[in-house]
């Protein structure tokens, strides 16, 4: 036990992840606690809320189309052993900058979306590069660092959008610009882009709208991720996620691989944000991105993912269960307590609680595995020293 | 380990930069420039300085609350909202029980103490279970507890007409005025007023007293043990120190100081802020102590004092000076970038603790 405290945090992280054969049944149970809890919450809340099944299915399909792409952005950094990427907010901000330009240039519909995505790519890449470099300097505490990065870049985003746009960066239309002559309005209307992707090829089955085109896009991303896992780079990332030292000995450029994983995640998050906002139909310039990371991460964890392991299946299960809770909780809360705010606060509480529990389970699991391997670890360290 | 060798070399460069403290210098220089510029742009310097001192008194103890946990190696206390919640419970219960005037302030401290002890003990127990991942989990413990209390503020049976919503007669308001309760309870005590320049003597004395207690504690046997646990846990264990107990104690102290800190903040500010208000309150305190020269595992009382003055100085000075110079209020943005940048800078430094 004393040896494990003596190691650096980064080192502990690797060795913890290295050994996880054996108690797989226990792991299976532990990693499914959260989904089971959520199924129970939903099972209790659905009858109380009194929504019709058609309404619920419709809402879930809409929200699935809206959020899945964003949540998929989290998978790649998890694969590279960098934990939950709270910095996906950076991609969201890049996308918002793209959308602001597109709505100022008055390019509507699908072309506008595509253009916004194209504009977001270089910004996302730059931000992802910065984020990756910082996270390389903060190995072992990537999550808390990426979480602070999102705040830091939010400050810079505000600096650019609130002060530079309109004064230094040309913005023409007063519908986008603040009346004082510079800065962007609190809300930018995306009405002419609203649900353009969702309505493309949409199928209506008994009042339930299925946004086929959005699902095709999401499906393509899933295929890309499956394919990417099999490429050389994907294999490298998994190796880095397993053990940085071993990966380095095998000739993998660990730092570069980690930066690429964050970079990809940021770019995907940017695309996801464009899809998200075309569904919402308006952009809250200063707040749309702030909660995105939290909700995406909570949804992924609800699907049974953990900090070091997540699959596409987790994403779909998570988005369904989490948003089911999100839809039914306010009205169930209002019916039980007579106060509509209770349900609102309840769902926020549950989102945070889920992340907390998942983080605690991850850390305790890591410690349990570590204490089992303590003796082996001590021997290894002696050999290393 | 080849890696450690390259790291020690990089450490040496890093420690050189750190002793130089580039971001700290920038921030201190920026504040100095603001003070120099203030009279030229027509800002009233005495008012500005007394505002800075005032805000220092409000926030000092919240920043001081960071010290015990940094010392015991638990890292920066991002879970400060938990302590703040204990303080808010104390504040609201003190009013509910009918205390008024300055007495309500001390009643609030007394009432919040058991909450802080219980919550702090639970929090400390949790942090002992997850050594190494404290900061991230602390953040989310803070968030979960704040959002949980949002429900509780609505549901708990408070009745005082000064606190509940007027129409429904239940559920606490988002902001509660402390007029008639402990508004300025400390700041008003022995206040020195010269023209526009005023010094809240009572609040300064209270902070000095708490800071002295903390300093004295760190020099007791338990305090030294705490520092030992933080700087080298395996050594501390070998010396017969109960590491978990010391860590637990540090977390409880930190939580209690958070509770007292928010009460001191409220007496200066004049309002109790409930619901989502405590959500991000840990971040200014964290960045203040880091600006003062602390790192993730080293913090002194001097760091607290310097950091709070610098941070609060920037918060008070930027709006007035910036407004007068370029007619844009960029203070909020500058505050975000400076404080978050400081936290990031500290997180990317290599931690000395935990290495043998």
pLDDT at residue A270, as a whole number: 94
User: Among the listed ranges A138-147, A218-227, B113-122, B214-223, which one has the minimum average pLDDT value?
Assistant: A138-147
A360: which chain B residues are within 8 Å (Cβ-Cβ)?
A: 126, 129-130, 137
Does the pLDDT of residue B167 top 70, yes or no? yes
A188 part of a folded domain: yes
Average pLDDT over every residue of B149-154 = 88
Q: Pick the residue of A141, A142, A145, A148 with the most B CBs within 10 A to test the interface with B by mutation.
A: A148
A119, A98 contact by CB (below 8 A): yes
pLDDT at residue A29, as a whole number: 66
Å between A319 CA and nearest CA of chain B:
20
Share of chain A above pLDDT 70, in %: 90
Chain A, 320 to 359: residues with Cβ < 8 Å from chain B are: 337, 339, 341-342, 345-346, 348-349, 352-353, 355-356, 359
Q: How confident is the model at residue A225 (pLDDT cuts 50, 70, 90)?
A: very high
A2 part of a folded domain: no
A14 part of a folded domain: no
* Interval B173-202: pLDDT, tens: 888 888 878 777 777 777 777 777 788 888
pLDDT at residue B258, as a whole number: 92
Domain region containing A183: 24-376
A336 part of a folded domain: yes
Measured between CB atoms, which of B137, B148, B337 is closest to A359?
A: B137
B154: which chain A residues are within 8 Å (Cβ-Cβ)?
A: 339, 341-342, 345
* Interval A3-22: pLDDT, tens: 444 444 444 444 444 444 44
Does the pLDDT of residue B157 top 70, yes or no? yes
CB atoms under 10 Å from CB of A344, counted, come to 16
A5: which chain B residues are within 8 Å (Cβ-Cβ)?
A: 131, 233-234, 237, 354
A19 part of a folded domain: no
Measured between CB atoms, which of A159, A349, A360 is closest to B147?
A: A349
Does the pLDDT of residue B125 top 60, yes or no? yes
pLDDT at residue A6, as a whole number: 42
Measured between CB atoms, which of B141, B143, B234 is closest to A6?
A: B234
Contact assignment for A141 to B126 by CB distance below 8 Å: no
Å between B142 CA and nearest CA of chain A:
9
Residue, of B353 and B16, whose pLDDT is higher: B16
Does the pLDDT of residue A115 top 80, yes or no? yes
B82, B141 contact by CB (below 8 A): yes
Long-range Cβ contact pairs of A109-116 (< 8 A, separation 24 or more): A109/A192, A109/A193, A109/A196, A110/A196, A110/A197, A110/A200, A112/A192, A112/A193, A113/A193, A113/A196, A113/A197, A113/A274, A113/A275, A113/A278, A116/A274
B286: which chain A residues are within 8 Å (Cβ-Cβ)?
A: none
Does the pLDDT of residue A32 top 90, yes or no? no
A245 part of a folded domain: yes
Closest CA to B65 of B225, B342, B278, B262: B262
Chain A CB within 8 Å of residue B26 CB: no
CATH number at residue A288: 1.10.3470
pLDDT at residue A10, as a whole number: 45
CA of A344: which chain B residue's CA is closest? B151
Contact assignment for A349 to B144 by CB distance below 8 Å: yes
CB atoms under 10 Å from CB of B24, counted, come to 19
Does the pLDDT of residue B345 top 70, yes or no? yes
Q: How confident is the model at residue A382 (pLDDT cuts 50, 70, 90)?
A: low
pLDDT at residue A30, as a whole number: 65
Average pLDDT over every residue of B88-108 = 87
Contact assignment for A8 to B171 by CB distance below 8 Å: no
Does the pLDDT of residue A136 top 60, yes or no? yes
CB atoms under 10 Å from CB of A125, counted, come to 17
* DSSP class per residue in A218-229: HHHHHHHHHHHH
CA of A138: which chain B residue's CA is closest? B348
Does the pLDDT of residue B25 top 60, yes or no? yes
Spatial neighbors of A376 by CB under 8 A, at least 6 apart, are: A19
Q: Considering chain B, what is the average pLDDT of its residues?
A: 82
* Interval A333-360: pLDDT, tens: 888 877 777 888 888 888 888 888 888 8
Average pLDDT over every residue of B213-233 = 88
ipTM > 0.85? no
* Interval B276-294: pLDDT, tens: 888 888 888 988 888 888 8
Residue, of A53 and B38, whose pLDDT is higher: A53
Spatial neighbors of B264 by CB under 8 A, at least 6 apart, are: B57, B58, B60, B61, B62, B186, B203, B206, B207
B151: which chain A residues are within 8 Å (Cβ-Cβ)?
A: 342, 345-346, 349
Chain B CB within 8 Å of residue A301 CB: no
Q: What domains can you pick out in chain B, each with its CATH number?
A: 26-348 (1.10.3470)
Q: Pick the residue of A152, A162, A285, A384 with the most B CBs within 10 A to test the interface with B by mutation.
A: A152
Give the 3-state secondary structure of residue A362: helix
Contact assignment for A151 to B283 by CB distance below 8 Å: yes
What total number of domains does chain A contain?
1
Distance CA B326, CA B335 (A): 17
Q: Considering chain A, what is the average pLDDT of its residues?
A: 84
A3: which chain B residues are within 8 Å (Cβ-Cβ)?
A: 234
Contact assignment for B147 to A360 by CB distance below 8 Å: no
Chain A CB within 8 Å of residue B345 CB: no
Contact assignment for A155 to B144 by CB distance below 8 Å: no
B133: which chain A residues are within 8 Å (Cβ-Cβ)?
A: 359, 362-363, 366
Does the pLDDT of residue A304 top 90, yes or no? no
Q: Pick the residue of A352, A362, A364 with the most B CBs within 10 A to test the interface with B by mutation.
A: A352
Measured between CB atoms, which of B130, B283, B333 is closest to A360?
A: B130
Contact assignment for B354 to A9 by CB distance below 8 Å: yes
Give the 3-state secondary structure of residue A214: helix
* Interval B302-344: pLDDT, tens: 888 888 988 888 888 877 777 777 666 777 888 888 888 888 8
Q: What is the pTM of this model?
A: 0.82
B129: which chain A residues are within 8 Å (Cβ-Cβ)?
A: 360, 363-364, 367
A8 part of a folded domain: no
Structure tokens at B30: 């920026």
Average pLDDT over every residue of A88-99 = 93
What is the DSSP-derived secondary structure letter of residue B271?
A: E
Q: How confident is the model at residue A385 (pLDDT cuts 50, 70, 90)?
A: low
Average pLDDT over every residue of B48-59 = 86
Does the pLDDT of residue A129 top 90, yes or no? yes
Chain A, 154 to 173: residues with Cβ < 8 Å from chain B are: 154-156, 158-159, 162-163
pLDDT at residue B86, as a whole number: 92
Contact assignment for B151 to A6 by CB distance below 8 Å: no
Does the pLDDT of residue A114 top 80, yes or no? yes
Number of A/B CB contacts below 8 angstroms equals 136
Measured between CB atoms, which of A147, A152, A385 is closest to B1?
A: A385
Contact assignment for A148 to B143 by CB distance below 8 Å: no
Does the pLDDT of residue B130 top 90, yes or no? no
Average pLDDT over every residue of A31-38 = 79
User: Among the listed ranges A36-40, A204-208, A369-373, B197-201, which one has the minimum average pLDDT value?
Assistant: A369-373
Q: How confident is the model at residue A71 (pLDDT cuts 50, 70, 90)?
A: very high
Å between B341 CA and nearest CA of chain A:
6
CA of B145: which chain A residue's CA is closest? A349
Contact assignment for B3 to A245 by CB distance below 8 Å: yes
Measured between CB atoms, which of B132, B332, B347 is closest to A148?
A: B347
* Interval A166-184: pLDDT, tens: 888 888 888 888 888 888 8
CB atoms under 10 Å from CB of B211, counted, come to 18
Residue, of B111 and A198, whose pLDDT is higher: B111
Angle, alpha carbons B43-B47-B51 (nearest 5°): 115
pLDDT at residue A13, as a whole number: 43
Chain B, 179 to 208: residues with Cβ < 8 Å from chain A are: none
Does the pLDDT of residue A294 top 70, yes or no? yes
Does the pLDDT of residue B148 top 70, yes or no? yes
Largest Cα–Cα separation, chain B: 69
Residue, of B167 and A96, whose pLDDT is higher: A96
A141, B136 contact by CB (below 8 A): yes
A109 part of a folded domain: yes
B237: which chain A residues are within 8 Å (Cβ-Cβ)?
A: 2, 5
Q: Pick the residue of B333, B341, B352 with the most A CBs within 10 A to test the interface with A by mutation.
A: B333
Contact assignment for A352 to B143 by CB distance below 8 Å: yes
């Amino acid at each position: 036990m004393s040896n494990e405290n003596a190691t650096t945090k980064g080192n502990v992280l690797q060795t913890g992840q290295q050994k996880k054969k054996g108690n797989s049944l226990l792991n299976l149970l532990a990693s499914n606690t959260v989904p089971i809890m959520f199924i129970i919450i939903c099972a209790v809340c659905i009858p109380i809320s009194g929504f019709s099944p058609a309404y619920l299915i419709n809402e879930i399909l809409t929200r699935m189309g809206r959020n899945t792409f964003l949540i998929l952005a989290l998978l790649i950094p998890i694969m590279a052993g960098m934990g939950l990427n709270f910095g996906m907010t950076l991609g969201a901000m890049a996308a918002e900058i793209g959308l602001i330009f597109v709505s100022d240039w008055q390019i509507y519909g699908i072309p506008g979306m595509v253009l916004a995505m194209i504009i977001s790519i270089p910004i996302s890449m730059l931000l992802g590069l910065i984020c990756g470099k910082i996270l390389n300097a903060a190995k072992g505490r990537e999550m808390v660092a990426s979480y602070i990065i999102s705040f830091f870049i939010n400050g810079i985003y505000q600096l650019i959008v609130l002060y530079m746009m309109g004064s230094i960066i040309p913005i023409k239309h007063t519908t986008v610009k603040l009346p004082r002559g510079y800065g962007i309005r609190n809300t930018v209307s995306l009405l002419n882009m609203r649900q353009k992707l969702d309505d493309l090829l949409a199928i209506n089955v008994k009042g339930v709208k299925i946004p086929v085109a959005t699902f095709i896009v999401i499906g393509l991303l899933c295929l890309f991720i499956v394919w990417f896992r099999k490429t050389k780079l994907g294999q490298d990332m998994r190796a880095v996620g397993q053990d940085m030292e071993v990966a380095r000995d095998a000739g993998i450029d660990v730092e570069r691989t980690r930066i690429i994983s964050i970079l990809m995640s940021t770019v995907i998050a940017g695309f996801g944000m464009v899809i998200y906002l075309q569904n919402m139909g308006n952009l809250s310039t200063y707040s749309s991105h702030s909660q995105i990371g939290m909700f995406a991460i909570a949804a992924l964890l609800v699907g049974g993912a953990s900090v070091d392991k997540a699959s596409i299946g987790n994403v779909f299960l998570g988005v369904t269960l989490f948003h089911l809770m999100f839809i039914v909780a306010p009205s169930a809360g209002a019916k039980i307590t007579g106060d509509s705010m209770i349900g609102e606060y309840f769902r926020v509480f549950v989102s945070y609680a889920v992340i907390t529990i998942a983080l605690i389970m991850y850390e305790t699991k890591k410690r349990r595995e570590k204490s089992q391997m303590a003796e082996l670890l001590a021997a290894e360290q002696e050999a290393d020293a | 380990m080849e890696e450690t060798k390259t790291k020690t070399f990089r450490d040496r460069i890093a420690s050189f930069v750190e002793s130089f403290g580039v971001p700290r210098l920038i921030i201190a220089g920026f504040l100095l420039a603001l003070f120099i510029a203030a009279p030229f742009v027509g800002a009233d310097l005495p008012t500005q300085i007394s505002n800075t001192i005032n805000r220092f008194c409000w926030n000092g103890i919240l920043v001081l609350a960071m010290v015990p946990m940094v010392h015991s190696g638990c890292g920066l206390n991002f879970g400060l909202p938990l302590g703040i919640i204990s303080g808010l419970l104390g504040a609201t219960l003190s009013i509910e029980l009918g205390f008024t005037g300055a007495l309500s302030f001390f009643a609030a401290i007394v009432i919040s103490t058991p909450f802080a002890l219980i919550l702090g003990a639970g929090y400390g127990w949790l942090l002992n279970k997850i050594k190494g991942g404290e900061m991230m989990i602390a953040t989310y413990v803070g968030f979960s507890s704040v959002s949980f209390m949002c429900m509780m503020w609505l549901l708990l049976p408070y009745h005082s007409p000064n606190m509940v919503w007027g129409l429904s007669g239940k559920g606490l308001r988002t902001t509660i005025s402390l007029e008639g309760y402990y508004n300025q309870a400390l700041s008003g005590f022995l206040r020195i007023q010269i023209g526009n320049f005023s010094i809240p003597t009572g609040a300064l004395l209270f902070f000095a007293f708490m800071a002295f207690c903390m300093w004295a504690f760190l020099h007791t046997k338990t305090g030294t043990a705490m520092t030992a646990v933080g700087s080298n846990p395996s050594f501390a264990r070998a010396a017969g120190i109960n590491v978990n107990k010391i860590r637990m104690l540090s977390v409880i102290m930190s939580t209690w100081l958070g509770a007292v800190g928010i009460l001191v903040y409220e007496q200066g500010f004049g309002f109790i802020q409930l619901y989502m208000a405590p959500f991000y309150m840990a971040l200014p305190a964290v960045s203040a102590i880091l600006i003062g020269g602390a790192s993730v595992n080293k913090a002194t009382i001097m760091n607290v004092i310097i950091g709070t003055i610098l941070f609060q100085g920037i918060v008070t000075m930027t709006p007035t000076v910036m407004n007068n110079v370029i007619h844009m209020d960029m203070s909020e943005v500058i505050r975000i970038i400076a404080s978050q940048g400081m936290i990031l800078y500290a997180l990317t430094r290599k931690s000395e603790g935990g290495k043998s």
